[in-house]
Structure 1
Amino acid sequence: MARAVEVTVDHFSYGTITPVLGYLMAVLGAALGLRCTVRALSEGHGRRKGWLVLGALALGSGIFTMHFIAMMGFTTGGVHLDYDLARAFASLAIAVVVVGAGLLLVGTARRTGPAVLGGGLITGAGIAAMHYVGMTGLVMTAEVRYAPAYVAASVVIAVVAAMLALWCAVAVRGLKAAVGASALLGIAVSGMHYTGMAAMSVHAHALSALDTRAPIETLMPILVVPLLLMLFTGLFVGLDPMASRVPERAGQRN
């Protein structure tokens, strides 16, 4: 058998459109997820879990959406790409469940340092797990290899930024803190994704003469579900009659 040749890959075949749009979607998901987490801290035990579930749906969907928008710009030289939908949606479920566990820890243990650190660790792990499980759904006639150092760096980026974001969200009040926390989580998701992609190399035995990318008609249906979940969460948060009183109530419970 012929020796596999490393294939040239391009992560920005549409220029800055996919990384910028992906980052904005990650920030939107983070803003909704953290907003629900702060809202949960103002509630009693029963309603608190409901808000944390909403937060996990929004944040997990934002992570997932950023990943697949970024993958629209992913091109391999001469290797056909496609996606296994079952694995793609499995990665969405993993993101929601693992991130939900991190938010639940913060939401139940409230503003303690260990809770924020533990929640950040779990949330960061969820971001990384979503990425690498999602990448197993990439179908192509080539072998994918990962550089361990870059993989480790991508996980560290996700965990550290997630810890900082959760600390900003629950320990510092005000619009600036909320915006800063959302921006940090957006950086965590995007930074983790592109560092993880830098860890990746593609090796194939046979190449065609054309650069290929996963078809848009495959990627767009994948994005419909998480976009609807974020829309649902956004409407729920926006219509919450107690939204304007959350900071006051949270302060009274400290």
Structure 2
Amino acid sequence: MTADVSDFYYGAATPIAAYLMACLGAALGLRCTTRSLQRRRQDRKAGWLTLGAVSIGCGIWTMHFIAMIGFSVGGALVSYDSAMTVLSLVVAIAVVAVGVFLVGYRGAAPLNLGVAGVITGLGVAAMHYIGMAAIRMPGTLRYDVPTVALSVLIAVAAATAALWAAVSIHTLWSSLGASLVMGVAVTGMHYTGMAAVSVHVTQQVTASQSPAGLLSFLLFMLAGPLAVLLIAAVIVMFDPDMVLGDGEWSPR
């Protein structure tokens, strides 16, 4: 039978927290990429681009699984496969790195930006659906194909906009504004993808949500990426050029 599915088991808490994490990852990623474009210290370019990619990837992945804390299926207990969950994190960071390094080293020419945006967007979508494939329950997840396609298009558009902003926006306040917009786009992609989901339950239970063990598992999985984002935030905060946005820029 088809079960009742909700993405807001804890109300507005999970979507708001998910959005804030998406914004944090985007803001850190933009500032790190900005730092990599400064002419006077190009010797650490790869390091800054790597930190930017990790920040954006961790931010997107953290957004996804914070949002998934609010996911519930009526009459089914939900759990997650650890290996698939970690794989989704690796995919998120890897594909974002491809896009960030492409625009970081080759610039934001339309063709290069388009290729990087498509690769990164498809990777973000892949992260989302790998994360969904990690779900274990007595039932089957089904997807509405047009809605899935829309979520992928949103992911590609969001990724392209983020990569353009990363090499085109240099000031602190502009970066913060761009990160707020990117948070809307990335979170919107997630909930669009979730709108495509329906669940056919094969074995009902009395509980409508997984026990506290599921919440503990997700919080444990989130600890690593959250620590990475915290470290990235400290690095950004203590780099004057990053905060003030000063310096000469490589042509893009």
Classify the TM-score, shorter chain: over 0.9
**Count of aligned pairs:** 249
Q: Which residue is 1:222 aligned to? A: 221
1:26 to 5, 22, 30: 22
SS in 2 for 1:144: strand
Counterparts of 1:79 and 1:59 in 2: how far apart (Å)?
33
**Unaligned ranges ≥5, structure 2:** none
Q: Deviations over 1:52-108 (max 9, x none)?
A: 110111011001110111011111101111111111111001000000000001101
| Mapped contact 1:41–1:110 kept (Cα < 8 A) | no
Give the whole-Å Cα distance in 2 for the aligned partners of 1:103 and 1:202. 36
Aligned partners of 2:76 and 2:223: how far apart in 1?
26
User: Counterparts of 2:174 and 2:110 in 1: how far apart (Å)?
Assistant: 17
- Matched to 2:105, the amino acid is T
Q: Does 1:161 align with 2:153?
A: no
- The match for 1:85 is 82
Relative to the length of structure 2, the TM-score reads: 0.92
For residue 132 of structure 2, what is the aligned residue in structure 1?
135
The match for 2:237 is: 238
Choose from 57, 67, 70 the match for 2:67.
Answer: 70
Residue in structure 1 matched with residue 12 of structure 2 by the alignment: 16
Post-superposition offset of 1:218 = 1.2
Greater shift in the superposed pair: 94-103 or 175-184: 175-184
- Conserved in 1, the CA contact under 8 Å of 2:55 and 2:229? yes
TM-score, structure 1 length as denominator? 0.91
- In terms of mean alpha carbon deviation, does 38-47 or 182-191 score higher? 38-47
Deviates more, 1:198-207 or 1:170-179: 170-179
Task: Indicate yes or no: 2:211 matched with 1:211.
Answer: no
The sequence identity of aligned pairs, in percent, is 45
Aligned partner of 1:117 in structure 2 is 114
Question: Does the Cα contact within 8 Å between 1:38 and 1:169 map onto a contact in 2?
Answer: yes
Q: Residue type matched to 2:228 in 1?
A: L
Secondary structure of the residue aligned to 1:143 is strand
In structure 1, the partner of 2:54 is 57
- When the two chains are superposed, the root-mean-square deviation of aligned CA atoms in Å is 1.8
Q: Is the 8 A contact 2:21 2:62 kept in 1?
A: yes
Distance 1:166 1:177 in 2: 14
The question of 1:186 aligning with 2:178 is answered no
Letter in 2 for 1:229: V
**Residue 176 and residue 117 in structure 1: after superposition, are their counterparts in 2 closer, same or farther (change >3 A)?**
farther
Q: 2: CA distance between counterparts of 1:178 and 1:110?
A: 18
Kindly state the Cα deviation for residue 220 of structure 1 after the two structures are TM-superposed: 0.6
Task: Name the CA distance, whole Å, in 2 between partners of 1:177 and 1:117.
Answer: 22
CA distance in 2, matches of 1:51, 1:79: 44
1:139 shift after superposition: 1.0
User: For the residues of structure 1 that align with 2:244 and 2:111, how far apart are their CA atoms?
Assistant: 27
User: 1:208 & 1:244 partners in 2: Cα distance?
Assistant: 52
Asked if structure 2 preserves the Cα contact closer than 8 Å seen for 1:168 and 1:180, the reply is no
